[in-house]
Structure 1
Amino acid sequence: MIPTAEWIKLWNEKKTLLACPNNLNDYFEKQNLAGKTIDHLELGSVSIPSGEILVRDPLVYINKDAEPYLYKVPVGEFPVTAAVVVPDDEDSARYAAVKVQFTSNDAIRFEEALIGTEDLANFSEGEFFGFNVDAGLGCVLDAESLKAFCTFQDQFLAENKDKNLYDDYFAALFAKNYEENPTYQREGGDWLNWKIPGTDYNIPFFQSGFGDGAYPVYYGFDANDQVCCLIIQFIDIELAYRPDPEA
């Protein structure tokens, strides 16, 4: 999708509003935020064969017409890490953010990832666009691996008309991954690095923090203003966990 000149003009005018209000580096560099212990979980790699990247709910919003984000990223296999709010007496492990690291450079600013069709005219401070989650999961993938995913999905459903893709396929893979990697997973599994059958494409799936909802995705830019990472923010840790001073 090539955005219109009018859209690009609004995008440039509203760049400051599209900046992340949090320093997302803290999620991956600190061990304590807002009184919560933060740890880091390696989720394997993601395959980026074309450089056109997407973030989707893998069980609800995988379709061949899904548009990638505007900025292209490097091509290759890249590590994926979850910043986890460590479980305590009050709650289970929550994945606060998931990062894909493209280069060795550090991000010095974060800007929301957009596809070029968002309604920027009515966009204001404190808002974000994000992506929708209806199955408690997110995934990061490439435009080419999306095509392969759609082919697999269509074939599975055509051959298994009375079956469900999660219950009859993915559930067993999540359960196996839990058995092999139980750290920061609930029984049944909270993440999976899936290789699409018949391909070399890896797609990591992961729990979406507090569950269903809409979540922002940010590009990280280095000192040379080049994309160096992509971060999905599931939980604003300061907002969610900072004690109320008036309580």
Structure 2
Amino acid sequence: MHRRQALIAALSVVGLGAAGCGSRHGPGPVVPTPAPPLYPSRAADLFRPGTRHLLATGETAVSEIVPGGVLRLPTGRLTAADPGWVTRRWPDGVGPFTVTVPPGAYPLTLALLDGRVAAARLTLADRPVTSWDLALRAGEDPATLAPGYFFGVGVDTGTMALFDEAAHDAVGRLADTDPLNFDVEDSDTLEHRDVVPGANVIAFLTGFGDGEYPVWIGRTRDGIVGCFVVDMQMLAPATTTTAPPWLPPPSSGRRRPAPVDQPGSG
């Protein structure tokens, strides 16, 4: 499954993988180096086909947009997780985001750079997004984050899955039964249909592979959730941009969250 481990290792040496994440699930503490600002709108810009982008590797690539299927959310509580962590073997702490949406079926779109999934967008309302929030799980407080840091989705199998909270146990059973149940090929998506009544699971590969990835909530002018965007952090840090950065809300005594050991370690 780890077809990209050499590249991932090379990126980690120069600090392209770890910087900027408030590591909830990572294998070690966050390196206390200055983190670049976070720009959710840059991930959203990846969904403009034919646009050229500078990658963290120093190369450039043209954005390609492909459909990823339709995700069904019977409770409206979205979960994004490495499917290998949604398992009965560990008390994983993988839960849904605190922001709920109306139950329904929503289209998933992938933005590819150099054939890799650079971002995934779940569209709930086909309307312009005017503001961005960081998607959070229970117990995650953005006021504890320093600028440039985020709570993200930890990945160590190079794969992420999106599903409704109602499908959590079914995803765990699939992962426990056979890890190859979530073996995704290249830039395709893998769907498990009707894992529970009314809910499916859609999995896809994550950019350069393992890491920690933020999920952004795009809101329309009237405040409703227009989309969720998963940013695979493939882009080079912005040097010049007119886009406003995302900043955590102010808090006295702010500190970065303590890292949590990787499931199954120790």
Q: TM-score under structure 1 normalisation?
A: 0.69
Q: Do structure 1's residue 42 and structure 2's residue 61 form an aligned pair?
A: no
Displacement of 1:82 in angstroms is 0.6
* 1:3-29 Cα distance to aligned partner (Å, 9 max, x none): xxxxxxxxxxxxxxxx95141331112
Equivalent positions of 1:70-219 (< 5 A) are 70-85=98-113, 87=114, 93-118=115-140, 120=142, 122-153=144-175, 156=177, 165-167=178-180, 169-171=181-183, 174=184, 185=186, 190-197=188-195, 199-219=197-217
Identify if the C-alpha distance between structure 1 residues 203 and 84 changes in structure 2 by more than 3 Å, giving closer, same or farther.
same
Query: Using the alignment, how far apart are the partners of 2:209 and 2:83 within structure 1?
Result: 14
Amino acid at match of 1:166: P
> Do the aligned partners of 1:101 and 1:228 also contact (CA within 8 Å) in 2?
yes
Q: What CA RMSD, in Å, does the superposition of the two structures yield over aligned residues?
A: 2.7
Tell me if the contact between 1:25 and 1:107 (Cα under 8 Å) persists in the aligned partners. Answer: no
Q: 1:122 to 1:194 in 2, by over 3 A?
A: same
Partner of 1:52: 77
Which 10-residue stretch deviates more, 205-214 or 22-31? 22-31
Deviations 1:115-141 (A, max 9, x none): 131254541101111010010000111
| Higher helix proportion (structure 1 or 2) | 1
Cα deviation, residue 151, structure 1: 4.7
CA displacement at 1:147 relative to structure 2: 3.1
What CA distance in whole angstroms lies between the structure 1 residues aligned with 2:215 and 2:124? Answer: 15
Q: Which amino acid aligns with 1:232?
A: V
- The structure whose Rg is larger is 1
What is aligned with 1:182?
none
Aligned counterparts of 1:33 and 1:109: Cα–Cα separation in 2: 24
What TM-score do you get using the length of structure 2 for normalisation? 0.65
Structure 1: unaligned runs, 5 residues or longer: 1-18, 88-92, 157-164, 179-184, 243-247
